[in-house]
Structure 1
Amino acid sequence: MKKSLLRAAITTALTVAFAVPAFANPFSDVPSNHWAYKAVNDLQKAGIVEGYNGKFDGSKNMTRYEMAQIVAKAMTKAQTDDQKGTVDKLSKEFAVELMNLGVKVDGLEKKVDNMVKVSGDARVRYFDTDNSDANDAGSITDYRARVSFDGKINDNMKFNARLSSGNADAEGASKGINLDTANVTFKTYALENTVGRQDIKLGSGYIMDAQMNGLASKVGGLKVFGGNATQNFSTTKDANQVETVYGAEYAMNLGGAKITADYLNNADTDEEIYGANISGKIMNGVTATAEYFKNNDLDADSKAYGVKLNKLGLSATYRDVEAGGLTAYSALNNNHFNEAMNEGGFKGMEYQLDRELAKNTVLTVKHQDFEKQDGAELAGRTSAVVNVKF
């Protein structure tokens, strides 16, 4: 059906349900001998249609948004079974537009809740160092695209799956599509359990921000997990080396500050890392962070102190990481700049700018000015990332 005929069709469909006594012609462009005259008149008197500057404009194309407005008004008028039946059919057809209008439709929320939701992100990154040597990657550009699918299986169970291109170098061919996550979440008494391949992030991501095949359970502010995790960086030829890990995190809010206590155990190397992260507002528009972690087996400490000007999106962080203090699962670790940061530890400043370029589009620029713990100079590292979410 052409959109230009939609007005006439809908007035005919609604007129039986919302017939009211007719009075003078409300629209100058609908003559009394027109086949839809009574329908248009009845709907105007019922307050369902208003027209345009004294005209009905029946030949004008109608947008779905305009149609949803008519349906929304009709929903408030429906009283009889016939009226409710007519409106129910229309509300299902224009469900999305009605939701955008903030109109509640009986059963619509449940229907939408049961639908598979699709979201994703695309990222382009640029890395550069002041110089290139055996421990540095020089200048590299890579990209990644991901699409997530989230759905409800029943009232007690839901699923997640995410496809990812991986970090593909812009200079080469794509590495193909990977099943980045695939898991099911279900409730057992007070526990929320997720089994399968999933994201695991502890605190700020310093000791772990990676994917794991295993089981994670949450109750209140406590999260425990165990399984096989994929490293963000490996010193072996296998860049995706997998190790067995387990750990826990307890998160809480205290006086406006967010505090997390974290524990990570690498069963393959028998290393234990524990520590805490705290962040909170110290004055209007200014947030401070502090974190401390310790590799218990290597007796290596890691400390960081930072401040962020939220309105400007600017942050500065001082890091002091002893040799062995940085894990292969850390958000700081990646396959571009890694060996120089791991050999002998590092310390120095990290500066970051986060700027929203447009809706759902964020630019992040970061510069790391580190040196080794023995004072040896490291090449400065700069990265720029544009991330788009949809």
Structure 2
Amino acid sequence: MKKILAIAAVAALSAGVSAYAANPFSDVTPSDWAYQAVVDLSDQGVVEGYPDGTFKGERNITRYELAQIIARLMAKEDQLNAEQRATLDKLAGEYADELANLGVRVANLEKKVGNLSFSGNGYMKFYQTYKTVKDDDGKVREYTGKSDDKYVGRIRINVKGQVNDSTYVNGLLRSDMNFKDSETSNTYMQRLYVRHAFGDKVEATLGKYDQFFGQTGVFFDSEIKGAELAFHANDAANLAVGYGRFDDWTGYTDKGVTNPDHEYAYAQFSGEAGRFAYDVDYVNGTSTNKVNIWGAGLTAGLGGGFDVFGDYYKNTDAKGDPDLWTAGLGYGKQDNAKVGSFRVAASYVDAERNAFLGAYTYDASPLDALENSAVKEVKFWRAEGDVTLAKNVRLHGEYSFDVKTKGTDTDYDDVASVSLNYVF
């Protein structure tokens, strides 16, 4: 392609970005058909000439030269409208290799096609869980005290569609694979929601979206089918209120394992300031679980790479006001982009029945002991670690030990997991 034609196309893409400017090139005259495009883009810093002051518009433009132009235009992306940004995204995808050589991290952020952006993650995991004895009706009656090894894999593909400047639709497609059982796979849409921003401070979410309570993931880390309204004052003060069905939330009541499938209302106030991150949570629902839970979590940096963290939750509607708490110490900061970065942590967990409702982050955990209706409380120590082995490849390990229960003489083994995690 002739250089002058490429510049005319880029000028059309960036129309409206700049005003008219003086001619900087000796071989471009006002009578040339692309004169205004050349001088406008030169004034914006999108195109450059040669050291002798010429433009050489009749030369064939190289992919590398065009990538330079695209990179400079990307720096002005916030000045483009949605249609222009979509065209620029397509060009960036076409010239991704050349842009990478220029140090422009387009492909490292999100893969874009028009108004769609793609990202994802996956893992291969080996872990131990408790082996159970069940009746013919499938209900758990007792535990053998032995463990069962499992080897599983997962991949998730996230797709974000930009509807307009204020609204986007997000979907997360998930597929799980069990490499030891006859039932080898399960594929489904884990998340699907629309999010609309009302200015810079307020946004609404509708559909099936993810929610996280606490600092450790022990209380709830899963999806909610419902609606949420969020208010963002600044990094230190954010409020979210919502209503819906909590996906994967299993109740460990006195009658055993239940999944009441009831609606819940919730509120969360959270933020980060300096070395501190916090959240204060409230969940209320009418069900067999009698859920009226208050709780809070805090992470505090101590300096030197150390931090302390913990969560506390109490259910004031259940008999005895059962509570759940965990506290721990961590060191380091694992970064998927920084090979060799790592984090290790140790914590203690104490969970009473009806304070803990499932959907936790832990891979393999003694919290599963609460599925035994005789267990009223479970306590254990937990160690975990993460290290970046290669760019976007993380090794994760967990080990829960010294497990103690209240309400049963059943012996519960230590449990452990190890996984390779990938992001793309």
Shared fold (TM-score greater than 0.5)?
A: yes
What CA distance in whole angstroms lies between the structure 1 residues aligned with 2:226 and 2:266?
Answer: 12
* Partner in structure 2 of residue 282 of structure 1: 302
* Partner in structure 1 of residue 79 of structure 2: none
What is the CA deviation profile of residues 147-171 of structure 1, one whole-angstrom value per residue up to 9, with x for unaligned ones? 1111211122111011111464543
Residues 233, 333 of structure 1: 8 Å contact kept: no
Residues 67, 99 of structure 2: 8 Å contact kept: no
- Which 10-residue stretch deviates more, 218-227 or 205-214? 205-214
1:267, CA displacement in angstroms? Answer: 2.6
The 3-state SS of whatever aligns with 2:182 is coil
* Partner in structure 2 of residue 152 of structure 1: 162
Residues 131, 379 of structure 1: 8 Å contact kept: no
Instruction: State the AA in 2 paired with 1:383.
Output: S
Please list, as runs of the form range in 1=range in 2, the aligned pairs for 1:1-390 lying within 5 A after superposition: 10=2, 20=27, 45-46=52-53, 64=63, 66-68=64-66, 71=69, 94-96=91-93, 97=95, 100=100, 101=102, 115-128=115-128, 133-134=143-144, 138-166=148-176, 168=178, 170-188=180-198, 190-204=201-215, 205-220=217-232, 221-231=238-248, 233=250, 242-254=261-273, 256-269=275-288, 270-298=290-318, 299-310=321-332, 312-332=342-362, 338-340=368-370, 343-369=375-401, 370-373=403-406, 377-390=411-424
Q: Specify which structure has the higher proportion of strand.
A: 2
Instruction: State the AA in 1 paired with 2:303.
Output: M
What CA distance in whole angstroms lies between the structure 2 residues aligned with 1:251 and 1:154?
Answer: 28
What CA distance in whole angstroms lies between the structure 1 residues aligned with 2:192 and 2:265?
Answer: 19
The 3-state SS of whatever aligns with 2:163 is strand
What CA distance in whole angstroms lies between the structure 2 residues aligned with 1:164 and 1:271?
Answer: 30
* Partner in structure 1 of residue 11 of structure 2: none
> Alpha carbons of 1:266 and 1:381: their partners in 2 closer, same or farther (altered >3 Å)?
farther
What CA distance in whole angstroms lies between the structure 2 residues aligned with 1:151 and 1:47?
Answer: 42
What CA distance in whole angstroms lies between the structure 2 residues aligned with 1:166 and 1:247?
Answer: 29
> Alpha carbons of 1:46 and 1:93: their partners in 2 closer, same or farther (altered >3 Å)?
farther
The 3-state SS of whatever aligns with 2:262 is strand
Instruction: State the AA in 2 paired with 1:277.
Output: G
- Which 10-residue stretch deviates more, 264-273 or 141-150? 264-273
* Partner in structure 1 of residue 14 of structure 2: none
Structure 1: runs of 5 or more not aligned: 1-8, 22-41, 50-55, 76-89, 104-111
What CA distance in whole angstroms lies between the structure 2 residues aligned with 1:333 and 1:15?
Answer: 54
> Alpha carbons of 1:234 and 1:333: their partners in 2 closer, same or farther (altered >3 Å)?
farther
What CA distance in whole angstroms lies between the structure 1 residues aligned with 2:351 and 2:205?
Answer: 32
What CA distance in whole angstroms lies between the structure 1 residues aligned with 2:55 and 2:68?
Answer: 6
What CA distance in whole angstroms lies between the structure 1 residues aligned with 2:71 and 2:119?
Answer: 32
* Partner in structure 2 of residue 80 of structure 1: none
* Amino-acid identity (%): 19
Instruction: State the AA in 2 paired with 1:248.
Output: A
What CA distance in whole angstroms lies between the structure 2 residues aligned with 1:381 and 1:333?
Answer: 10
Normalised by the length of structure 2, the TM-score is 0.65
1:194, CA displacement in angstroms? Answer: 0.3
Instruction: State the AA in 2 paired with 1:95.
Output: A
Residues 48, 73 of structure 1: 8 Å contact kept: no
What CA distance in whole angstroms lies between the structure 1 residues aligned with 2:6 and 2:208?
Answer: 51
Tell me how large the CA RMSD over aligned residues is.
4.0
Instruction: State the AA in 2 paired with 1:329.
Output: A
What is the CA deviation profile of residues 244-289 of structure 1, one whole-angstrom value per residue up to 9, with x for unaligned ones? 2221110133553111111122332331121110001112100111
Q: Which has the larger radius of gyration?
A: 1
1:48, CA displacement in angstroms? Answer: 7.4
1:19, CA displacement in angstroms? Answer: 7.0
The 3-state SS of whatever aligns with 2:171 is strand
Instruction: State the AA in 2 paired with 1:330.
Output: Y
What is the CA deviation profile of residues 340-385 of structure 1, one whole-angstrom value per residue up to 9, with x for unaligned ones? 5762221121000111111111111000012214695421000112
What is the number of residues matched between the two proteins? 329
